[in-house]
Chain A
Amino acid sequence: MPLLLPILLALACAPLAYVAGRWRPGASAWVGASGAVASLVALGWELTLGPARLVLPWAPTWGLSLEFTRDGLSGLYAVMALSVGALVVLYSRAYLPHHLEEKGRPARDEVRFHVLLLSFMAAMVLLVTVDDLLLLFVALDLTTIVSYLLIGYDRDDPESRAAALLSLVLTGATSVVFFAGAMTLGLQYGTFSLPLVFERAATSPASTGALVCLAVGALGKSAQVPFHFWLPRAMAAPTPVSSYLHSAAMVAAGVFLLQRLYPLFAPALAVRDGLLAIGFLSMTVGSLLALVADPFKRVLAYSTIAQYGYALVLVALGSEGAPFYVAAHAPCKAALFLTVGAVTQVTGKKKLSEVSGLRHSLPVLAGASAVAAAGLAALPLTVGFFKDEVFFHALVQRGPAFMAAGLVGAGLTLAYTLRLWWGLFGGKRQDVPAAPRLLVAPVVVLAGSVLAGGILPGLLVEPARAAASAMRGEPSTLALAYHLDARAENLLAVGAWALGALLFATRLAWTPGLARVLEVVSRFGPELGYRRLLHLLDRLSTWLHELEVRDLRDRVASVLVPTGLLGLTVLWVTPLRHRFLPGTVGWADLTLVMALVFASGAALATLRARGHMVLVLLISCVGFSLAMVYAFAAAPDVALTSVLVESVFTLLFAGLLALLPSRRLERAQQEAQKPRGRDRISAGIAGVSAFLLSWSALSHLQADRVGTQTVKLAEVAHSPNVVAAVLTDFRGLDTVGEMSVVVAALLGVTSLLRLKGKR
């Protein structure tokens, strides 16, 4: 199964890095990065072999299997995840020691970071390779969990913990919604295998509810409005995490889901229109916030929201450029994140207002990040130019209103990108120490790839087409080339540059006003709702806990009474004929009835018992009477066991009473409150419900029992005692389970009463 080779290599990275880290902390990053590169090579070799699928049966009776695919889409995203992952791991080798020192943590914690990052990479590769709705959900949740650990990596920092929790709650909750959608689809089509689902969806379209559920899962991951607010908060994580999660991995996963599931969405125009609106909204909100944010990482985070808004628009329009857009965006955004990480590390500053003119001290970084910024802002000679070209191309087909929106969006992109780069490297000169080489090298590599893609776009056509055709299920005619003519796309691009430059030039005039407006608006945004909700849930749980704990008796009653009422309701509702049969009593039953009466009398007497010893004797009296009942009911095995167990139990109970200090026993007896009225009512409800339910059950005994079958079988199974045969042979697994309960009780007893007499 060669298809699994890249996945297995990617999965092996994290453990290998851990082992290497145990040997020498610095080695883990290099080992992990080489693992990622090896996986990348394997993937590249595989992609030359063409598309393939692999199906591993898992639970065939339920129609479940592990399905993997290799097509253009998975190839594109896997290459992205692996290559950016390798670079980010190397970068974090240089970044982390400084970061840990700042936080006052031991240097060996670095290994944990590398391991987590590599695990995230593996989860991402898994996500893009699986071809099954359930596995898709599993991989999605894997990314969520690992991202929680990564965002909360600075575990001593409350802000970082809160951000991690926020991202976990939001992306986890939305992925549960995704699961609901996946289950609906699975039930609707009778399979979870994606190709089969697509095939059946072609004849009967998926229900809108299921599609909305799937879309919500994807939007939560991709940080689109109204779930966008987790992303800026997640900037509390160390910069390599932000760089990876927000360029090539976590956020890309949401859009990837939509692209993977596009054949389902294609006929649902209403859902696609909704996605389109959300995409434009995210574009606007993200871009505007990016224009005024002061911390560099926030600028980039808002820019990510906006850029994935573009990608969402492309998916909603069904454009074949959607996968390419994400792929072109990834290196630019990753490079910019790594740049601001390096700047923060060198200067110790985190805000645009605190730095300027770094181009003199960090010339290489300035140059490389200029290329990346140009890519993000879609300037020619970078791969970014083509991402906007496909974007405009898709919009042109929909009409002038869309074109105008796209123009404004692209203009805003250029404006905030310029603002970021100029804020870092332009302006008044500041002198800072040079950045370590390992911090700069990944940025240079990424910038080189951005430039290479811009100069030789022909190289990208093939993968982009493969991905597009995998997404849309039809051959793609996507073309990437420079056209020096007055076509609409070019005009839009020029207009966007003009607008962006204008906005940048006049920025001092409008920035304060915009900032104030956005601040007021964001106060009433969805983040507020989230905080309110969390607060309310917190209070609810505290209230319930207090209520529950205040009196243990209420806790018990609150389980028993509703259960009893439920049982009565069920009896009331179910239309069973001859619901209750009184049965017949013959002379032969006399002894049985007498024993039963004796048992009930003893049980009633326990309620009146004052002393503990009397109580225990009455309880054992109930037990022995019941043993008598079993004996008269011709169940000798049960009667024998019952008698023996009852004797042991009575003696143990008496032993317990001897153990408890008699003074305390007496006091407990005196202090035991008079029974409350509601206790009587609870007991009454429970008893009546138990009575009616068992009456109903006993009235419906089948004439043809399993027992008669076992009697026949027992002879063959060499066991004249049918009960023993049932226990040991026919229901042997039950007995094994039962004995494990007994052993668990034994372990409980030994651990509660330690031999040494210590606590």
Chain B
Amino acid sequence: MRSFVPPLSRMLVRPALIIALALWLKGGGQVGGGFPAGALAGLVVLLQYVVMGREQARRYVAVRYAALLAGVGLLLLVGTSFLPVLAGYAPVSLFPRPGQPELGAGAFHLHTALIFEGGLMLIVFGLVVTVIDRFALSTSTEEESGP
């Protein structure tokens, strides 16, 4: 069993991430959005941890800096929500405003809601990966536990 599971899990990373990105990008038009995208990406990383261990999983940059990514996500979220206030709009005004023309095709549209959802995705991803990472770290170092 060991023989084919690790390569398989590694193979799954890219398709899963692409699906996560797709969930994010077409969230405005179809089923999807930031939450499921983040959770799916987190799930893929979780698979890497379970199958290959912490060291192997941390080869990915996004895994090493997961907490930082969550911070970036929060910045994106707060930025899209409150930067319009500086221009005199109400908080959480998205652009293009209702009635203005927009660019895009199919389920994909350029809209600041995308940035907002991207923030959500990064935060959820950051949370999932950080918790996994800390747990995995404890398993590797925590054998002398308890008084």
List, in ascending order, chain A residues with CB within 8 A of B126's CB.
746
> A724 is contacted by which of B70, B92, B113, B131 (Cβ under 8 Å)?
B113
Which residues of A have CB within 8 Å of B92? 729, 732-733, 736
For the complex, is B6 an interface residue (Cβ under 8 Å from A)?
Answer: no
B135–A659 contact, CB under 8 A? yes
Partner of A757, one of B40, B111, B141: B141
Whether A739 and B120, one on each chain, are in contact in the complex, defined by CB atoms closer than 8 angstroms, is: yes
Q: A753 to B138, Cβ gap below 8 A?
A: yes
Q: How far is the CB of A719 from chain B (nearest CB, A)?
A: 5
Please, which residue of chain A has its CB at the minimum distance from the CB of B49?
A655
Q: Are B132 and A735 in contact (CB under 8 A)?
A: no
Tally chain A residues at the interface, Cβ within 8 Å. 44
A499 to B33, CA, bound (A): 90
- Given known A733-B81, A746-B70, A757-B142, contact A721–B96 (CB-CB < 8 A): no
Given A652-B131, A728-B117, A743-B70, is A644 in contact with B138 using a C-beta cutoff of 8 Å?
A: no
Q: How would residues 116 to 147 of chain B score, 1 for a CB under 8 Å from any chain A CB and 0 otherwise?
A: 11011001101110111011111101100110
| B46 touches A (CB below 8 Å) | yes
**Residues on the B chain within 8 Å of A757, using CB:** 137-138, 141-142
A716 in contact with B74 (CB, 8 Å): no
Complex interface: chain A residues within 8 A of B134 (CB): 749-750, 753, 755
A645 within 8 A of B: yes
Which of chain A's residues 706-729 have a Cβ closer than 8 Å to chain B? 713, 716-721, 723-725, 727-729
The answer to whether residues A742 and B124 also contact, given A640-B36, A721-B28 and a CB cut-off of 8 A, is yes
Once A648-B128, A733-B81, A733-B91 are accepted as A-B contacts, the answer to whether A743 and B74 lie under 8 Å apart by CB is yes
Whether A743 lies near B123 (C-beta < 8 A) is yes
A727→B32 CA distance, assembly (Å): 12
Number of A-B contacts (CB under 8 A): 144
- A716 adjacent to B81 (CB under 8 Å): no
Asked if B33 contacts A648 (CB within 8 A), the reply is no
Q: Are B120 and A652 in contact (CB under 8 A)?
A: no
CA A736 – CA B146 in complex, angstroms?
Answer: 39
Nearest residue (CB) in B for A713 is B98
Assess the B81–A648 pair: CB atoms within 8 A: no
| Majority-rule SS of B interface residues | helix
Q: Is A698 an interface residue (CB 8 A)?
A: no
**B124 A647 Cβ-Cβ under 8 A:** no
In the complex formed, the residue of B with least CB distance to A663 is B146
Contact A721 B123 (CB under 8 A): no
- B:101-115 near A, CB below 8 Å: 102, 107, 109, 111, 113
Contact of A739 with B94 in the complex, beta carbons under 8 Å = no
Q: Is the CB of B139 within 8 A of A719?
A: no
Cross-chain contact A750 with B130 (CB below 8 angstroms): yes
Q: A619 vs B43: C-alpha distance in the bound complex, in angstroms?
A: 18
Of B40, B96, B137, the residue contacting A753 (CB under 8 A) is B137
A652, A661, A723: the one contacting B132 at CB < 8 Å is A652
- Assess the A644–B127 pair: CB atoms within 8 A: no
A720 and B39 contact, Cβ closer than 8 Å, known pairs A733-B91, A749-B130, A755-B137: no
Known interface pairs A644-B43, A755-B137; A724-B67 also in contact (CB < 8 Å): no
Cα distance A313–B59 in the bound complex, in angstroms? 83
Task: Say if the beta carbon of A683 comes within 8 Å of chain B.
Answer: no
Question: Which residues of B are found within 8 Å of A641, using beta-carbon distances?
Answer: 33, 35-36, 39
What is the chain A residue whose CB lies nearest that of B74? Answer: A743
State whether the Cβ of B77 lies closer than 8 Å to any Cβ in chain A. yes
A739 near B74 with CB under 8 A, answer: yes
Residues of B within 8 A of A740 (CB): 74
Check if A655 sits within 8 Å of B31, measured CB to CB: no
Q: With contacts A652-B131, A729-B113 known, is A736 near B78, CB below 8 A?
A: yes
Give chain A nearest CB distance to B54 CB in angstroms.
Answer: 12
Task: Say yes or no: B130 contacts A746, CB within 8 Å.
Answer: yes
Q: CB distance B139 to A659 under 8 Å?
A: yes
**Other 5 A-B pairs with CB < 8 A, given A739-B73, A755-B134:** A652-B132, A718-B111, A723-B33, A733-B81, A757-B138
Interface residues of A (CB under 8 A from B): 636-637, 640-641, 644-645, 647-648, 651-652, 655-656, 658-659, 661, 664, 713, 716-721, 723-725, 727-729, 732-733, 735-736, 739-740, 742-743, 745-746, 749-750, 753, 755, 757
Q: What 6 pairs across the A-B complex have the smallest Cβ distances?
A: A732-B92, A644-B39, A753-B134, A716-B98, A728-B113, A636-B31
